[in-house]
């Protein structure tokens, strides 16, 4: 399975993956998913929001155990973020069949669409729509960089966009959702464990800072006469780093838009996007408030107008304690370390986080030795991937088999 997926959407220069929602590469991944389902004799279906499902047992019976992840990628993403969960789900099903277990609950493998939000700027579109956390009207307003609307992109990929919307009947059939994912940090590498269980997803959000000054000629405007928003932006970036260190949060300016964006022009506008995350809400509030306060001070001193807009926000997601404890019990003593499986928080969002508002949800993480994610350098050792499959199979057996 890994070898089949490896070339799909990989850019020849960067070596990274560009599997954007509803693109040719995404459709190739989706065709692969369907072929995997059919090769195993599973009942294949696409739901009203373009998420893919492969069922063992009756999809309508209810109390189903569902496992899966996503196949799309960020720009120049790695091979593991998303696909490891989907591939491990099919491999775990194969493992359970070879163990000869009897299934007492329906089991499904899923591929949630547009998880990374690389094309339309909003993450987890497939699961958000299903869970009613993204309205149809807002989904219709999503545009990619070429101005193509989400419904048009779905339609040109052969999917009916008129059906998108909340899918409570489908979610009500899920008794438990388990997502396996490559770890996006080094916690497991530091503890020496191949597999961990998620405790919570940190609260996180995106804020847009608009710094407005005065465009002018870079060669004829004296320094003292300038109202240069780039300087205020740069000071704010440094403040974000300082505030993050002080509070123990994370704060990143990773995207910027400049007007007029000319080499020989003092900018009139610098628009920077802040991504911030923290283990708890109070810390997140403290870091963002601190950055905004600093930015306003710098702006006032330099004669710059500043607007700060919160563009998106996701509160803390605590995975269901009962299911989490059940996973810990199932995996107790199953590893090679002889220690309990570590339980860890994460700063990254996932479909599992979205679904946790509607169904009991849990996550398994597989060790990523460098901690690097959203990059071609993202990695997990083959032994650890196999340990992940075994852990997922144990969990599915514990939940879905007699």
Residues that bind Zn ion (CB under 5 A): 81-82
Q: What span, in angstroms and rounded, lies between the C-alpha atoms of 119 and 113?
A: 12
Nearer to Zn ion, 87 or 288 (CB): 87
- Is 51 annotated as belonging to a binding site? no
- Is 116 annotated as belonging to a binding site? yes
Q: Which residues pair with 151 in a beta bridge?
A: none
CB 390 within 8 A of CB 366: no
| Residue 373: CB minimum distance to Zn ion, A | 8
Backbone angles phi, psi at 295, to 5 degrees: -60, -40
Nearer to Zn ion, 36 or 368 (CB): 368
Q: What span, in angstroms and rounded, lies between the C-alpha atoms of 332 and 329?
A: 5
| Residue 182: CB minimum distance to Zn ion, A | 8
- Is 374 annotated as belonging to a binding site? yes
Burial class of residue 353 in the structure, from the number of CB atoms within 10 Å of its CB (0-12 exposed, 13-18 middle, 19+ buried) = buried
Tokens (6 digits) for 261: 């964006």
Nearer to Zn ion, 82 or 113 (CB): 82
- Is 277 annotated as belonging to a binding site? yes
Which residues, other chains included, contact 317 with Cβ-Cβ below 8 Å and sequence gap of 6+? 200, 201, 353, 356, 357
- Which residue number places its CB atom closest to Zn ion? 81
| Residue 217: CB minimum distance to Zn ion, A | 46
| Residue 204: CB minimum distance to Zn ion, A | 14
Nearer to Zn ion, 40 or 186 (CB): 186
- Is 70 annotated as belonging to a binding site? yes
Backbone angles phi, psi at 217, to 5 degrees: -75, 130
**56, 59, 64, 65 alpha-carbon torsion, rounded to 10°:** 40
Nearer to Zn ion, 161 or 388 (CB): 388
| Residue 375: CB minimum distance to Zn ion, A | 13
| Residue 181: CB minimum distance to Zn ion, A | 6
Tokens (6 digits) for 186: 């080094």
Tokens (6 digits) for 145: 């960089």
Nearer to Zn ion, 139 or 182 (CB): 182
- Is 181 annotated as belonging to a binding site? yes
DSSP strand pairing (305-314 vs 107-111): unpaired
CB 189 within 8 A of CB 372: no
Q: What span, in angstroms and rounded, lies between the C-alpha atoms of 361 and 318?
A: 9
The beta strands (E) that lie in 97-163 are given as 107-111
Nearer to Zn ion, 81 or 397 (CB): 81
| Residue 6: CB minimum distance to Zn ion, A | 17
Which residues, other chains included, contact 1 with Cβ-Cβ below 8 Å and sequence gap of 6+? 36, 87, 90, 91
- Is 217 annotated as belonging to a binding site? no
Please give the annotated binding residues for allantoate, written as ranges. Answer: 206, 264, 277
Please give the annotated binding residues for Zn(2+), written as ranges. Answer: 70, 81, 116, 181, 374
Please give the annotated binding residues, written as ranges. Answer: 70, 81, 116, 181, 206, 264, 277, 374
């Amino acid at each position: 399975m890994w070898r089949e997926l490896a070339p799909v959407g990989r850019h020849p220069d960067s070596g990274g993956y560009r599997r954007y929602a509803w693109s040719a590469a995404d459709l190739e991944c989706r065709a692969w998913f369907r072929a995997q389902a059919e090769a195993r004799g599973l009942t294949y279906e696409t739901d009203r929001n373009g998420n893919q499902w492969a069922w063992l047992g009756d999809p309508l019976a209810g109390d189903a155990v569902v496992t899966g992840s996503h196949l799309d990628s960020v720009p120049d993403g790695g091979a593991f973020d998303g696909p490891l969960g989907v591939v491990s789900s099919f491999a775990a099903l194969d493992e359970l069949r070879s163990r000869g277990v009897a299934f007492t609950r329906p089991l499904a493998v899923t591929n949630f669409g547009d998880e990374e939000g690389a094309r339309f700027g909003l993450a987890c579109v497939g699961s958000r729509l299903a869970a009613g956390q993204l309205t149809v009207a807002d989904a219709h307003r999503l545009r990619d960089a070429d101005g193509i609307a989400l419904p048009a992109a779905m339609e040109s990929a052969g999917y009916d966009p008129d059906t998108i919307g909340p899918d409570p009947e489908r979610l009500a059939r899920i008794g438990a959702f388990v997502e396996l994912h490559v770890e996006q940090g080094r916690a497991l590498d530091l503890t020496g464990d191949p597999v961990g269980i998620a405790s919570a997803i940190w609260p996180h959000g995106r804020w847009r800072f608009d710094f407005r000054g005065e465009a002018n000629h870079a060669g004829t405007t004296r320094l003292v006469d300038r109202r240069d928003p780039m300087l205020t932006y740069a000071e704010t970036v440094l403040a974000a780093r300082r505030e993050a260190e002080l509070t123990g949060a994370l704060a990143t300016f990773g995207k910027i838009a400049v007007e007029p964006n000319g080499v020989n022009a003092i900018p009139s506008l610098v628009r920077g996007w802040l991504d911030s995350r923290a283990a708890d809400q109070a810390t997140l509030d403290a870091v963002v408030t601190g950055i905004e306060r600093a930015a306003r001070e710098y702006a006032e001193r330099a004669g710059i107008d500043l607007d700060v807009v919160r563009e998106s926000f996701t509160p803390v997601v605590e995975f269901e304690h009962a299911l989490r404890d059940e996973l810990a019990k199932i995996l107790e003593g199953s590893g090679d370390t002889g220690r309990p499986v570590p339980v860890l928080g994460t700063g990254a969002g996932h479909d599992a986080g979205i679904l946790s508002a509607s169904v009991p949800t849990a996550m398994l993480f597989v060790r990523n030795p460098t901690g690097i994610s959203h990059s071609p350098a993202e990695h997990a050792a083959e032994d650890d991937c196999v340990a992940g499959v075994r852990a997922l199979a144990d969990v599915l057996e514990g939940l879905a088999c007699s």
